[in-house]
Structure 1
Amino acid sequence: MNDASTSITLPALYAVVRRNAAIILFTIGLAVGTSVALSAATDPVYEARSAVAFNDNSADLQALGIPASPDFQPDKAAAAQAERITRPDVIAEVRRTLRVDLSVQEIQDSVSTQVDPASNLVSIIVEAPTADLAARLANGLAAAVRDDATDRVKARYREGGRAAQRRANRLKGDRNLARRAVFEDQAARLLALASFATPVDVVRTAEVPEGPSSPKPVRNGVLAALLGAILGAGLVFLRQTFDRRLREVDEVREQIDLPIAGFLTTRALGHVAFPGSGDKKPKEQDTEAFRILRTNVGFLDPAGPPKVVLVTSPLPEEGKSTTASGLAWAEAVASRATLLVDCDLRRPTVAKRLGLPASPGLTEFLAGEAEPADILHTVDAGDGSKLVVITAGGHTSNHAEMLVSERFREFLAQVSDVYDRIVLDSAPLLPVSDTIGLLPQVDAVLLCLRLGQTTRDDATAARNALDRFPDATVGMVLTAADKSQRPYYAGSYAYTSLPASERA
């Protein structure tokens, strides 16, 4: 058997997503719903921006003939000045001027600054519960920082001018006329600069925002959907990692290197394909599935159709008895002499499903307590076809020993001379040894795997058990394989018969 591929193919990924679409859609819906609820419960916040530019006054000083070095790092100067915008005294002045019903701390928490590293431009960003308040505060802060900086610079120039004038006044006599004239000229220039200095310009006033900056339901919904999809994919990955059950046909092919002989739907399980068996009438698609299985079994072995076919599964409740009875029915309606034998001596089901007496049966015959005529039951398979059935019989404690006994071998040899096809419904492979003893005595084995129930480990263990008997031809029957789990070529189409009233 080939090792299962560890790579994830696109069809396998698609199958995983399709199978777990409900989980992903649920997480997306939950995330979007939570986002919508939070957006509805969140008070709107409006954002307004103004901008100020801190000018380099060295050009003004040089224009007046006062030596000054230019500022070669305007961004650092602007960053230092930007800190003044959120100073409590500046904010307190704005609060007083605008008569805002917010505390200094509340305003301070709602204000942030942003410095353009390539210039001396500082943006003032204000968030407020109303659009008008946000714009008023942004413009008020811009004006306040402009006025504060202008007052400080003008005061410095005036103080410099007065200091220069005082130095000039201290110079007496004719010898100091030139020096006194220099200081007087410097004082006049500084006092003149104090009258028109503009260290800060408001380059952008804030406009009243048209809508809130947060919450943004559309953006939040899209992000929530993406987050929900990621969360859903994570849950699917965890489920795929820890859920060992085989769910898709492609998974089975990757895990178990065996030909697939047929598919049965969930609807067919637990019932019998016989229209006249007393069970509810089967759907035509289900009976057709057994006909397909019959055809595929005939081609399992290139040497020719198998005479004795054993049907088993890794564990109970995986559809082996339904498969065995359905295959036997399909063989019978094909005008083949067919014998169905219930070899599951521990948990027999054939007698109950077909409405036959449980004993005498196989156990009584193998114990020498019954003759062949006592255990052979003929069942109407429909359309005039007959199926011969041997039930399991009464309880016994030596199940495995009976099935490997010489009497059972002689029994198989005898019925093989009489019947065209013999179908053995055997016990599951893994829990008991009964079926292991039968494998050397049969021509072909059908291993039933129930999608959504059989695990990878159980399927692999059953495959390994069958590998010890290389002479037996083995095929798989995938049960509970509903339309969504089957490939398009495996029974996804229906072609039913016309009612009699519509026939020509």
Structure 2
Amino acid sequence: KARVKLAEQQARNLVDFELRDEMLRSRIDRDKLILEGITEEIRRLDVAQGADTMLHEVLESPRTGVKVWPLPAICYSAGLVLGLMIGMFLGLVNDQLRPGFNDGAELDAAIGVPVIGYVRKLPFRRVAGLVPTQKHQSEAFRVLRTILLNEVRSGRLTSLTATSASAGDGKSTVLLNLAASFADLGMSVVFVEADMRRPQVRKRMNLAVRNGLSEILEGKCDADEALCVAEKSGFSVIHAGGPTRKPSELLESEAFDSLLAELRRRFMLVIVDVGPVLSVCDSLVVSGKVDGTLFVVRPSRDSREQILGAVETLRAADVRLLGTVVNTFGSSAKFEASRYQNYLS
């Protein structure tokens, strides 16, 4: 019996050993499969540094690198082009945003109407607003007179007017002093105030005659009853007359055409004063009836947009522009520093 029990015990031990051996072999096989999977993954990704299973392949022998960027020539050229584009853009923006003009040359180039005169702050006579001939400021109007004189004497310029972008630019003062300057040469000149909306000549010149342009055009009097001579100035004047509700219609009437024709026969030069072109249509009406128009600009008050708009309106109406007169009162030093002004100062 003892031998049988020993044999049974040995048999059981052998079975246990075989089972453990089978389990270990299965574990070894499983670990091998895991290792093979990991090795294959490492081989595929090629990220395990120093691993025995890493594959290495030399594609190209090492050599000295070549600089490909930045290239100075391309960078300099691109910088130059970009700088020019930015400069042009900023220049255009500055032109659009800047309210006015810096000097006469810039104004001349922008509007295409030559600047033929500069007028500074004037030492007015107390009432008339005329510059005494002995004052050096009157030289500005003599220069303007000289520019226009040949056409006046040849008969090509028998009548003229002046307009501006807005009120207060000094066009009436320019025309009054221009009339006085022509009268100084012994020429017969008549000044007609056609601005019947804001008349001021009668008060400024202290005229005693009550009848004026509105009375003539309404048939209430003739030209002789409205004509008067400016004191100490030597030219004749027809002021605007009494108030009227239809100034534009009167200026477009045949009566005004007849008056201009009569004054042209009697005087060597007819100077007609009207309102600003951007405010009323009177200046366009009168400009179409006279031989030429002066454009008065006051840079200290008129914006770039106003000046360009006024010139465009005048050109659209086919107005003959004689030139630009710049009223530099209140403007920058560049406008003040015209050649003849510097000479006389």
Q: TM class, shorter-chain normalised?
A: 0.5 to 0.7
Tell me, in whole angstroms, the C-alpha distance in 2 between the residues paired with 1:301 and 1:466: 22
CA distance change for structure 1 residues 437 and 277 in 2, over 3 Å: closer, same or farther? Answer: closer
Q: CA deviation at 1:301?
A: 9.1
| Residue of structure 2 equivalent to 1:298 | 149
2: distance between equivalents of 1:467 and 1:280?
A: 32
Partner of 1:430: 278
Question: Matched residues in 1 for 2:279 and 2:127: separation?
Answer: 34
Q: 2:341 corresponds to which residue? A: 491
Give CA deviations for 1:150-187 in whole Å, capped at 9, x if unaligned: xxxxxxxxxxxxxxxxxxxxxxxxxxxxxxxxxxxxxx
Q: Is the 8 A contact 2:115 2:326 kept in 1?
A: yes
Determine if contact 1:324/1:425 at 8 Å carries over to the other structure: yes
> Mapping of 1:398-413 within 5 angstroms?
398-413=246-261
TM-superposition CA deviations, 1:265-287 (whole Å, max 9, x none)? 0235xx46xx9958785771221
Residue 337 (structure 1) aligns with:
188
The 2-side partners of 1:302 and 1:328 are apart by 15
Amino acid in structure 2 at the alignment position of 1:491:
Q
How far off its partner does 1:243 sit? 3.9
Q: Distance in 1 between matches of 2:307 and 2:131?
A: 31
2:312 maps to 1:464: yes
Does residue 220 of structure 2 align to residue 369 of structure 1? yes
CA contact (8 A) 1:297 1:305 kept: no
Report the CA distance shift for 1:393/1:363 in structure 2 as closer, same or farther (over 3 A).
Answer: same
State the structure with more CA Rg: 2
Sort the Cα spacing of 1:340 and 1:246 in 2 relative to 1 into closer, same or farther, 3 A.
same
Cα pair 2:215 2:221 within 8 Å, conserved: yes
TM-score (ref. length: structure 1): 0.46
Q: Tell me, yes or no, if the aligned pair for 1:358 and 1:392 is still in contact at 8 Å.
A: no
Distance 2:221 2:97 in 1: 51
Match 2:197 to one of 330, 342, 346: 346
1:339 deviation in Å?
Answer: 0.2
**Is 2:248 the partner of 1:393?**
no
Q: Which runs of 4+ in 1 moved over 6 A?
A: 237-240, 300-303
State the alpha-carbon separation in 2 of the partners of residues 245 and 359 from structure 1.
41
Aligned partners of 1:401 and 1:282: how far apart in 2?
38
Post-superposition shift, 1:357? 3.9
Matched ranges for 1:247-258 at <5 A: 247-258=102-113
Q: Which runs of 5+ in 1 are unaligned?
A: 1-236, 496-504
2:295 aligned residue: 447
Supply the RMSD in Å over aligned alpha carbons.
3.0
Q: Report what 1:33 is aligned to.
A: none
Q: Which amino acid aligns with 2:246?
A: N
What is the distance in 2 between the residues matched to 1:358 and 1:315? 29
Partner of residue 415 from structure 1, selected from 258, 263, 283: 263
Report 1:69-468 matches (<5 A). Answer: 242-267=97-122, 271=124, 277=128, 284-298=135-149, 305-357=156-208, 359-382=210-233, 386-468=234-316
Deviation per residue, 1:355-377 (Å, 9 max, x gap): 11473100011111122222111
Distance 1:278 1:455 in 2: 25
Residue number in structure 2 paired with 1:192: none
Measured in 2, the distance between the counterparts of 1:280 and 1:471 equals: 29
SS at match of 2:231: strand
Equivalent position amino acid for 1:253 in 2? D
1:325 positional shift: 0.2
Q: What is the number of residues matched between the two proteins?
A: 253
Q: Which runs of 5 or more structure 2 residues have no equivalent in the other structure? A: 1-91
Q: Distance in 1 between matches of 2:245 and 2:226?
A: 20
Secondary structure of the 1:392 match is coil
Is this contact kept in 2: 1:345–1:395, CA < 8 A? yes
Query: Residues 152 and 158 of structure 2 are in contact (CA less than 8 Å); yes or no, is this contact kept in structure 1?
Result: no
Cα offsets for 1:390-433 (capped at 9, x unmatched): 00001111010000100000000011011001111111101111
Question: 1:250 and 1:394, CA in 2 relative to 1: closer, same or farther beyond 3 A?
Answer: same
Are the counterparts in 2 of residues 247 and 452 from structure 1 also a CA contact under 8 Å?
A: no
Tell me: higher relative CO, structure 1 or 2? Use CA pairs within 8 A at least 6 residues apart. 2
CA contact (8 A) 2:131 2:138 kept: no
Q: Distance in 1 between matches of 2:276 and 2:142?
A: 24
| TM-score normalised by structure 2 residue count | 0.66
Cα deviation per residue 1:89-127 (whole Å; 9 max; x = unaligned)?
xxxxxxxxxxxxxxxxxxxxxxxxxxxxxxxxxxxxxxx
Counterpart of 1:337, as a letter, is: S
Q: 1:36 is matched with which residue? A: none
Q: Is the 1:249–1:487 Cα contact (8 Å) retained in structure 2?
A: no
Identity %: 26
